[in-house]
Structure 1
Amino acid sequence: MLLRKQTLSEAARRKFAIFRDPFDEPQQASEVFLSRASRVVREAMWQTAIGNTNFLAVVGESGAGKSTLREELAERLRAESRPVVLIAPYVLGMEENDKKGRCLRSDHIAEAILHAVAGGDTPKRSPEARFRQLHEALIASSRMGMQHLLVIEEAHGLALPTLKHLKRFLELKDGMRRLISVLLLGQPELREKLDERRAAVREVAQRCQIVTLPPLDASLGDYLAHRFASAGLDLAAIVEPTAVDALMQALTITQRHGSGPGDTQVISLTHPLVANNLLTAAINQAASLGAPRVTAELVRAVRESMP
C-alpha cells in the first residue's frame, strides 16, 4: 500500500512554524536515518561497492528507502575518496518486455559501462568488437586501481534474458581479478525473478546474495524524530507521543488467509514514504482544526478517511 502523495499545507506550515518540510528528500548523508536493519543493508551495499561482494540484490517495497541508501552510498564513496566507478544505466521506461515499454538489454549495459569507464571512446559497431572494447577498458581502469560497480535500479523490471546475461559481466576478469560488481535494487518481484527454481536464471540466482530492506517497525519513532531534527524541528512539539503509536498501529494490518486460529498474517506498512504521507495528512488536518498537536485520535481518523 502506498498512500496518495501528501504535501504540507500553507496553514500547517504557518501554525507549526515549519519552514522546511521534514519529509523532503535528504540533502546530505547526516539526514539519512539508519535503523539497525538498514545498517545491515547499507553495509552489504558498501562491501559490494568496494569489491568484497560480487553480486547483490537489495529488495524492498516501494518507498522503503532503497534509492536513498543508493544515494548515500555514492555520497560516502565521494567523501572517503574511494576509487570506485559507479555505472548506472538509465532505466527510464524500462519494462520486462517491449510490449509494455523498453527492455534494458546487455548491449545497453555495455554502452553504459563504456561511457563511465572510457567516456571518450566511441563504442564499436559490432557486438563482438564492442564487448572486447568494454573488456579492455575495464582491464585498463582496474590496473589504474579502480573498482567498478554496476547499479541497476527498478531491477524488478529487468527482462529474464538480461538478468541471465549479468553473469557474463561478472565473469569479466583480468587474470583472477574480477573487474566489476553488480548491485540490483528492486521491489519484491525481483526476489521472485531471482528464484533459483527458475531454470532461465538459475545460474544467476545461485550467485546472487539477496538482502531485504524491511519496514521501520519499532524504529518508526526514532525515524520521525531524526527527520524532524534534520529540518530543525522538534517532533514532540508537533506530534504527541501517542500519535506515533497510533501511526504504527494504523500502518500494521492483520490479514486472514484461512479459517484456523493461526491462519493470520501481520503485515507492516511502516515504510518511510507511507509513514511520511500519513503523518503529513494528519499535520494538515490538525492545522485545519486548530489542534495544538497531532493526536492519536486524529491519526486514526485521517487513516480511515484515506483510500
Structure 2
Amino acid sequence: MARAAGLSAAAACRLVHGQWPARRAGEVRQRVVDYLKEHGASMAHLRGLVLAQFPRARTKKLAPPGCEPGEAVPESPETTATHETLEEESMLLKNETLTPLARKHFKLSRSPFVDDINSRNDIFASQHGRYVRAAMLDAACNHGFIAIIGQSGSGKSTLREDLEERIREERRPIVIIKPYVQGMEASEVRGRPLRSGHIAESIVDALAPGVSLKSSPQARYKQVHELLKASRSAGYTHLLVIEEAHRLPVPTLKHLKNFMELKDGLRRLLGVCLIGQNELYDVLSERNPEVREIVQRCEQITMEPLDNDVESYLQLKFERLGVKLADVFEPDAMDAIRARLIHTAHGNRTSEVVSICYPQVVNNLVCRALNAAAAVGYEKIDAQVIAGC
C-alpha cells in the first residue's frame, strides 16, 4: 500500500492512526482507496476512509461535576451544542467543488450548481420565492419601498437578476437604477460609503446617459426631479436597487426618504429595493430614532430556507442536466439533508428551530456527498453518506 500511494513505510504506518500527509493528502487518499478496492476491501471500510476527507465539526464535551470518566455527558444547550452548531454551520458554508471523478461516476456533464442559471426557467421558485418575485415587481411598477433580507447564498441577488430579465423579456417600461460603489462600507474608515450624491448620479446616468450632474445640491436635486418627471410622463416607472444595503450609512438611509418623496402631482416617481444580509435588520431597526421614520415606510421581507422544498430544488438542478434525481439519491437522502441543515437552538426557557437550508448551503453539502460517494464507488447517495459529510 505504501508503494501504491507513493509513501514511505513510516508514512503509511501513520495512516493507520489517521495521520494523513500535509501535502497531496487528497491524491494519496485516492491511491489508497484504489489499492484497497483492488484487494477486496468492503464498501463499509472504504466509506469510513473517504468520508474522513469531509470531517464534521466536533467539540469535546467535558464531564461536569458528578460524572465519572466515560459516563454519558448531558447536553449543555447554552455552550456545547451551540458551539458545535456554529462550527458545523461554518463548515457547511464553505464552498465545495465537484470533482471530475464525481462527474464521471454520476454521469454529469458538468456541476449542477456552477453556471446553472442561464434563463428564468433555471431559477427554482418556491411559494415564498414567488411572493418575493411579485413584491419586487410591484415595487418597480408602483414605486414601493421594500427590503429583501437574507443570508449569503439565500437567493436574493438571483431574484433581482430574475426581475431584470423579466423586464427585458416582457419589454416592461421599467427603469432599474443601480448605484455602483466599489468596496462599499458604512464608514470611510473601512471603505467607501454610498452617499446621496452617488444615488443622484446613478439616476441621472440611467435616465440621461452622458449628461453631467449639477454641482450644487439645489440644482442637482431639481435635475433629478425633472428627469424622473419626464421619464414618468413617457410612461416609465423607476426602481432604485441597492445591493449590500446592510452597509448603508445611516445618513444615506435617511436621505432615501427625500428621493422617495419626489412626485409629479400625486404620483410617486421612484421605488426603492434594498437587498442585504441579516445585518440589515439592525440598520432598519425601529429602535433607532434616526431611521424610524423611513423604517415605518419599508416592507421587510425575509428570505426563507428551502426546508420542505429541498427535493423539488434538487430535482430542477439535476433535470436541467438530463439526470433523474432518483438515479443519484436514495429516498432517505432528502430527510438526511434536512436533518443536517435544520436544528433546534436551545436558550433560556425557549427552543427555536433554526434552518440554514439555503440554496448555496444545500449545493455545498450535496457536492461534498457526491465527491465522497464517487470516491468509494457508491451507486447512490444515501442518508449515511449525507450524515458523514
**Residues 1:288 and 2:375 aligned together:** yes
Work out whether 1:206 is the aligned partner of 2:293: no
Aligned: 1:45 with 2:136: yes
Q: Alignment partner for residue 274 of structure 2, among 184, 193, 205?
A: 184
Distance 1:295 1:242 in 2: 6
**% of aligned pairs identical?**
47
Q: In structure 1, the residue corresponding to 2:300 is in which secondary structure? A: strand
Q: Quote the offset at 1:127 in angstroms.
A: 2.4
Q: Does 1:240 align with 2:327?
A: no
The 3-state SS of whatever aligns with 1:79 is: helix
Quick one: which amino acid aligns to residue 135 of structure 2?
A: A
The answer on whether the counterparts of 1:225 and 1:235 sit within 8 Å (CA) in structure 2 is yes
CA RMSD of aligned residues (A): 1.2
Rounded to whole Å, the distance in 1 between the matches of 2:381 and 2:181 is 39
Does 1:85 pair with 2:175? yes
Q: Give the distance between the partners of 1:50 and 1:11, measured in 2 at CA.
A: 48
Query: Which residue among 292, 299, 311 is the counterpart of 1:221?
Result: 311
After superposition, the C-alpha distances for 1:247-305 in whole angstroms (9 at most, x for unaligned) are 110001222112x4xx2221011000000001011101111111111111011101xxx
Q: Under a length normalisation based on structure 2, what TM-score does the superposition of the two structures give?
A: 0.75
Report how many aligned residue pairs link the two structures: 298
Which letter does structure 2 place at the counterpart of 1:36?
Answer: Q
Name the SS of the counterpart of 1:56 in structure 2: strand
Paired residues of 1:91 and 1:154 also in contact (CA < 8 A): no
Q: What secondary structure does 1:47 align onto? A: helix
Kept in 2: contact 1:91–1:153 (CA 8 A): no
Cα distance, 1:91–1:18 mapped onto 2, change above 3 Å: farther
2:388 is the counterpart of 1:301: yes
Shift of 1:223: 0.7
Map 1:251-266 → 2, pairs under 5 A: 251-258=341-348, 260=349, 263-266=350-353
Structure 2: how far apart are the matches of 1:182 and 1:174?
17
- Residues 48-197 of structure 1: pairs in structure 2 closer than 5 A: 48-51=139-142, 53-197=143-287
Which residue of 2 is the match for residue 305 of structure 1?
Answer: none
Q: Which amino acid aligns with 1:300?
A: A
Summarize deviations over 1:92-115 as a string: whole Å, max 9, x none: 311111111110010001111111
Q: Which residue of 2 aligns with 1:276?
A: 363
User: Which has the larger Rg?
Assistant: 2
C-alpha distance in 2, partners of 1:245/1:171?
49
The alpha-carbon deviation at position 91 of structure 1 amounts to 4.0
What secondary structure is seen at the aligned counterpart in 2 of 1:184?
strand
User: 2:173 and 2:281 mapped to 1: Cα distance?
Assistant: 30
Q: How far apart, CA to CA, are the structure 1 residues paired with 2:321 and 2:309?
A: 19
Structure 1 residues 67-92: Cα deviation after superposition (integer angstroms, max 9, x where no partner): 01001011111111100000011143
1:19 and 2:106 aligned: no
For structure 1, which segment, 224-233 or 70-79, has the greater mean C-alpha deviation from structure 2 after superposition? 224-233
The code of the aligned residue for 2:120 comes to: A
Task: Report the CA distance between 1:184 and its aligned residue.
Answer: 0.7
- C-alpha distance in structure 1 between counterparts of 2:327 and 2:150, whole Å: 32
Cα offset for 1:191?
Answer: 1.9
Q: Give the AA of the match of 1:224.
A: L
Between the aligned partners of 1:189 and 1:45, the Cα distance in structure 2 is 20
Q: Does the CA-based 8 Å contact 1:11-1:284 persist in structure 2?
A: yes
Deviation at residue 231 of structure 1 after TM alignment: 2.5
Aligned partner of residue 223 in structure 1, secondary structure:
helix
Shift of 1:241: 2.0
* TM score, norm. by length of structure 1: 0.94
Deviations 1:207-248 (A, max 9, x none): 111111110111111111111112222121112221111011
Distance 1:175 1:119 in 2: 26
Unaligned runs of 5+ in 2: 1-88
* Letter matched to residue 273 of structure 1: Q
CA distance in structure 2 between the aligned counterparts of 1:167 and 1:7, rounded to whole angstroms: 44
Relative contact order, higher structure (CA 8 A, sep 6+): 1
Distance 1:145 1:187 in 2: 33
